[in-house]
């Protein structure tokens, strides 16, 4: 059931459900999360089961503030603390060494833990209420609230369409950021960018004072992370990325025969067939990120078979959108 978190009773009900080991979906500024008490292994197992996600793929633990980090992390390198100071609450997840015995199931058995402090007011209210409850729930393990491999949800209705009416969903409107948080691994001596988000490499490097490495560049292998699999975030329809000229040429070839095709492009395309579903990609990377997953979901809901997307521009501010589109197309 979808409920309005401005109603104090709805928020209290969500806290009670989480204390009892049940699942609650909640909005963050990036995407909606499917939350469970991070310290309750049975509750965390329910998250893996609901998503259909392999249980060795670690979950991000959401905390109300930077002070909660020491509950879960054994050590916070100075550059990681600078990132916390600069970007929390906000769309940045840090991988840190895990405190022994804490949230092993949420961490998928790894000796590290992903931590994030979201800025969405509903996420903040929920996390604070959980932390102050008796017994307290100091952190919520929450992957994106979609089935494994599918597009992340950016509205309460998206979540309901993934999991049905049985799941509690707090409705916080449409997500402002629209793509998942950037993930920086802080366990390898120097920062490693595991997943780009809307924070640019330059912003992250400026805040932590060190260059960001890419996964293969530093020491040991990155743990298998579902958000880093080549094929992920995929709609049912097949996605192809093309430049504007190739996209127009492909439409021209099909002419009036074009059917079951949707396009998302900055260029204005000439489509001879009125059955081609066209959506305009914003010129601004932030705005494109905000719309991306809703557009892919709309195309799926309309039953298109092919989604042709104009490749995003080269700028670093498009890294997050480009990354998600490449995975959707893989
Ligand atoms: O914006 C977000 O990050 C959203 C919202 C709900 O906070 N959450 C999200 O969670 O995208 P999820 O589970 O869909 O993606 C989390 C990513 C996965 O690729 C996971 O493998 C990686 O984070 N991850 C989590 N803990 C990790 C760890 N200890 N080491 C390496 N990767 C980790
Ligand atoms: Mg996900």
Ligand nearest to the CA of 34: 1
Tell me if 226 CB under 6 Å of ligand 1: yes
Judged by phi (left if over 0) then psi (alpha if -120 to 50, else beta), residue 323 lies in alpha
Tell me if 223 CB under 6 Å of ligand 1: yes
CB 263 within 8 A of CB 269: yes
Residues with CB under 5 A from ligand 2 (ion): 144
Tell me if 183 CB under 6 Å of ligand 1: yes
CATH of the domain at 243: 3.40.50
CA of 151 to the centre of ligand 2 (A): 8
CB 42 within 8 A of CB 63: no
Angle at 59 between CA 54 and CA 63, to 5 degrees: 165
Would you state the pLDDT for residue 73? 98
Residue 66, burial from CB neighbour count under 10 angstroms (0-12, 13-18, 19+): middle
User: How many domains does the structure of the chain reveal?
Assistant: 2
d(CA 272, CA 258): 8
162 and 124 fall within a common domain: yes
Would you state the pLDDT for residue 55? 86
If we measure between CA atoms, which residue out of 281, 88, 289, 283 comes closest to residue 177? Answer: 289
Q: Is residue 232 part of a domain?
A: no
Judged by phi (left if over 0) then psi (alpha if -120 to 50, else beta), residue 209 lies in left
CB 55 within 8 A of CB 108: yes
CATH of the domain at 132: 3.90.870.10
Would you state the pLDDT for residue 28? 98
- Domain span at residue 315 reads 238-329
204 and 270 fall within a common domain: no
172 and 276 fall within a common domain: no
If we measure between CA atoms, which residue out of 79, 44, 29 comes closest to residue 182? Answer: 29
CA of 103 to the centre of ligand 2 (A): 19
Residue 150 CB neighbours (<10 A): 20
With the most atoms of ligand 1 within 8 angstroms of its CB, the residue from 38, 114, 170, 196 to mutate is: 114
213 and 251 fall within a common domain: no
271 and 196 fall within a common domain: no
Would you state the pLDDT for residue 149? 84
150 and 242 fall within a common domain: no
Would you state the pLDDT for residue 100? 96
177 and 143 fall within a common domain: yes
User: In sequence order, which residues have a C-beta less than 8 Å from that of residue 138 and are 6 or more positions away?
Assistant: 38, 39, 63, 68, 71, 130, 131
266 and 141 fall within a common domain: no
CB 138 within 8 A of CB 71: yes
Structure tokens at 39: 């310290």
246 and 313 fall within a common domain: yes
156 and 83 fall within a common domain: yes
If we measure between CA atoms, which residue out of 202, 233, 175 comes closest to residue 315? Answer: 202
How confident is the prediction along the chain (330 residues), in pLDDT tens digits per residue?
999 999 999 999 999 999 999 999 999 999 999 999 999 999 999 999 999 988 889 999 999 999 999 999 999 999 999 999 999 999 999 999 999 999 999 999 999 999 999 999 999 999 999 999 999 999 999 999 999 989 999 999 999 999 998 999 999 999 999 999 999 999 999 999 999 999 999 999 999 999 999 887 876 555 555 556 666 678 899 999 999 999 999 999 988 888 899 999 999 998 877 889 999 999 999 999 999 999 999 999 999 999 999 999 999 999 999 999 999 998
174 and 268 fall within a common domain: no
User: In sequence order, which residues have a C-beta less than 8 Å from that of residue 107 and are 6 or more positions away?
Assistant: 58, 59, 98, 113, 114
Would you state the pLDDT for residue 31? 98
If we measure between CA atoms, which residue out of 240, 212, 246, 216 comes closest to residue 228? Answer: 216
146 and 53 fall within a common domain: yes
Q: Which of 187, 217, 247 is the last residue of a domain?
A: 217
Q: Is residue 224 part of a domain?
A: no
Q: How many residues does the chain have?
A: 330
With the most atoms of ligand 1 within 8 angstroms of its CB, the residue from 140, 183, 215, 218 to mutate is: 183
Q: Is residue 229 part of a domain?
A: no
């Amino acid at each position: 059931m979808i409920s309005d978190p401005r109603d104090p009773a709805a928020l209290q009900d969500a806290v009670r459900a989480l204390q009892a080991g049940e699942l609650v979906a909640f909005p963050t500024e990036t995407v909606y999360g499917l939350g469970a008490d991070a310290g309750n292994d049975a509750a965390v197992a329910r998250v893996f089961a609901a998503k259909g996600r392999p249980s060795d793929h670690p979950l991000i633990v959401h905390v109300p503030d930077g002070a909660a980090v020491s509950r879960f992390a054994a050590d916070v390198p100075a550059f990681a603390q600078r990132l916390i100071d600069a970007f929390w609450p906000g769309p940045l997840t840090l991988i840190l060494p895990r405190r022994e015995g804490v949230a092993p199931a949420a961490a998928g058995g790894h000796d590290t833990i992903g931590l994030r402090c979201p800025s969405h007011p509903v996420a903040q209210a929920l996390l604070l209420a959980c932390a102050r409850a008796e017994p307290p729930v100091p952190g919520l393990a929450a992957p994106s609230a979609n089935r494994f491999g599918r597009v992340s949800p950016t509205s309460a209705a998206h979540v309901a369409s993934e999991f049905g009416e049985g799941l509690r969903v707090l409705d916080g409107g449409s997500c402002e950021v629209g793509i998942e948080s950037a993930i920086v691994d802080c366990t390898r001596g120097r920062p490693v960018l595991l997943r780009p988000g809307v924070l640019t490499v330059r912003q992250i490097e400026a805040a932590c004072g060190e260059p960001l490495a890419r996964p293969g560049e530093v020491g040991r292998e990155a743990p298998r992370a579902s958000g880093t699999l080549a094929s992920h975030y995929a709609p049912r329809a097949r996605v192809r990325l093309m430049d504007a000229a190739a996209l127009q040429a492909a439409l021209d070839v099909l002419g009036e025969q074009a059917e079951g095709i949707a396009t998302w492009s900055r260029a204005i395309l000439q489509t001879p067939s009125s059955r081609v579903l066209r959506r305009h990609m914003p010129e601004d990377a932030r705005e494109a990120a905000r719309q991306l997953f809703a557009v892919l979901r709309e195309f799926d809901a309309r039953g298109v078979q092919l989604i042709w997307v104009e490749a995003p521009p080269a700028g670093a501010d498009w890294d997050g959108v480009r990354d998600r589109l490449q995975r959707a197309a893989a």
